[in-house]
A and B are shown apart, each in its own frame.
Chain A
Amino acid sequence: MSAFLIRRLLRFVVVCLGVSLVTFSILHASGDPVALIMPEAAEADRAKLREALGLSDPLSTQFVRFVGNAARGDFGRSFFHREPAFRLVVERMPTTLALTCLAVALALAVAVPVGIYSAVFRNTVGDHAATVVVFLGQSMPVFWIGIMLMLLFAVQWRLLPVSGWGTWSSMVLPAVTLGAFTTPLFMRIIRSSMLEVINLDYVRTARAKGLSEWLVICRHALRNAALPIVTVIGLQFGLLLGGAVLTESVFAVPGVGRLIVGAIRQLDFPIVQAGVFLLAMIIVSVNLFVDVLYVYLNPTVRLR
């Protein structure tokens, strides 16, 4: 167990370094960042800025400095907001995370019953219908679902606010939009782990003992589905955060995604770096947590 933990932590550190390298290279990907920041300036002015930003040092020195600063949450000041980039990103993080969590919760609320139904009544008309309906959510561009939902629920029927963030009601449409995109993933897992469990001996025994089928499923089968779902949340967290970016734009939600998208357009490198780095760190940490949790909850996993 502890050997596993050490190995896993080591890998975590290595991946963090890799993430730093990619984030670091964003600044250099488009050629000379200074020329992009001040396209009209004279070479002398550019040289000065290059000096000020430390861009004239060897790349290795720059990278070491970047990692050191990143570890302290220092990505420099935003070129446009004139505030520390990291703080701007952190300010918006709770919104994005709340949106993501809400969407996951909604998705589970739909996926669990539908997945169970679909497994129990496998290959019936109901199963196919349920599958298609749920799959619809994953087959539409996220922003398109958002616009359609907004037109129906906010403009046509006036049930919910059009956009914004803060009140519960304003969170419904963004969460449903992002949730619609996540539901099929969960439903598939629940369905297939249900199928796996449903014929196991102990479930059969339980059924034979006369408990109602529903209870059996809840007690025994769902417990088995829980871990894979957690794992997939970890694996798919990047996709979820990507969907959050689009949702945020449609519903004017003040989250990290919108900040980064704006920063990419303005070439505000400190924000892009801080934002991408922090999101990646969250994904890496979620995965670390999931792995450790998994081993902790299920000691029979073979460790290599």
Chain B
Amino acid sequence: MHRPPFFIPTLCLCALLSLLIGCAKKTTNVEYGNANQELFIGIGAEPATLDPHLLTGLTEYSVVMAFLEGLTTLDAESMRVRPGVAQSWEISEDGLTYTFHFNPKAKWSNGDPVTPEDFLFSFERILTPLLGAPYAYMLYPMRGAEAFHTGELTDFSKVGATAIDEYTLQIVLEQPTPYFLSLLAHNTWFPVHPPTILQHGGMTERISKWTKAGNYIGNGPFVLEDWRLNNRVYAVKSQHYHDTDSVKLNGIHFLPIDIETEERAFRTGHLHITESVPIHRIEWYRENSPETIHFATSLGVYYYMLNTEREPLNDPRVRKALAYSINREELTKHVLKAGQQPAYHFTPPNAGGYNAEARFPYDPDLARELLAEAGFPAGKDFPAFELLYNTSESHRTIAVAIQQMWKQELGIDIELHNQEWKAYLSTREAGEFDILRAAWFGDYDDPNTFLSLGETNNGNNHTNWSNAEYDALIKQAAVTLDPEARKAIFQKAETLLIDEMPVIPIYFYVTSRLIDDSVQGWYPSILDNHPYQAIELIGNE
């Protein structure tokens, strides 16, 4: 009897595998993209939502700005305010009333005109408490917005937004807000298409299906063609966008790829732009391919938060000693390596044109003196305390380096402790920490988004630090119209902050990306804001 050879299944499999070899795609994504003006861009993680009023992350924002446009937009290169849905505007002399004139060509992706009424609907939607929009406070500069959002005011017509006619929208502010026009380019101020929202569960339905491909109606340069989880969000050029001629790209593939995979994808020509660069690859690109690696300072600060209620951190001298004894140059050069800037004050450079003048030193001698004054000469009898960070390799590396510096310079032993993200958040909220790793990214391009963190009742101030003078300065800045006078107030606040040192700034963030040389019109941006209208792909045939 003839029997099949013993290893037949294995042989079949080998044959099958060898058949598949070489069936790999012959053209890469980049080649295909350059020939068809389709951009392949890594976004790091799956966007949680494409609803402009519910999203909270930069990932989501970077996708949604392809689909929606606010009253104003930001210039890709200079980040100056440019017309969006509004083609022009007037500001009253007291700085309180803004009158916006709509571009008559502004259309939704189904051809409907974009009207002032649509904006009113959108403002009402995000401010209605029932929707639970996390960032609704971004609309608070508008008169009555806060009252409506907190339920004190229930009649939306009392809120300071009015449709004057079918092309004119007027917004009245609580108080002059110098950065108001750039705020309008933020996703919380984006319009949504009322009939679509109403058709999918109503104005305040969170769990709405309107964000799905096929349902999504936007007014931006692109429309949502396809959205598959952990796979891609695919945007194609809108035919109804008011400035459609200026849009060069025919499509954008947003790919939620993990950082290591992303780098491999870039290396093999499957991505035009990565979301980030793994630390261990930065050196290699710097040396071998400097034209593809791009760094941009971003509006973010990495810092340690001190619990100023606990001994000995309740003593400003101890807090300063800890801050002054960290060698930030060493940390950024040899540990972080991506060109991060050492932070000797809290507000990142050039936030809304503001550069902090206050500086604290790197001075281990002074630090030792301060510590001795506080009663701990050479770290003697210094109580044990803990540094808490959310579990991550890079936070651990930094914490270990700083632990070492404090040990060497001050003779202080600290314990490192890590918790996974949600547990870390809940510990922070409960204030059950000594020192805690934290970071803050600006919501808008202005020092206020950083310095208001030090206010006593700011929801993000977990340091228990409270200073009446500081609170008064921040309040004063909010009502100061003259930009220079306002900056001067922020300078005072910053000086006070680093003199009290409830937080220890460590470094200012940079973003690092790999960008294929076919990509034109991508500029470094402090808010990591890159309008897709400006991008064009120039392939080398």
Partners in one complex: no
Residues of chain A at the chain B interface (Cβ within 8 Å): none
Residues of chain B at the chain A interface (Cβ within 8 Å): none
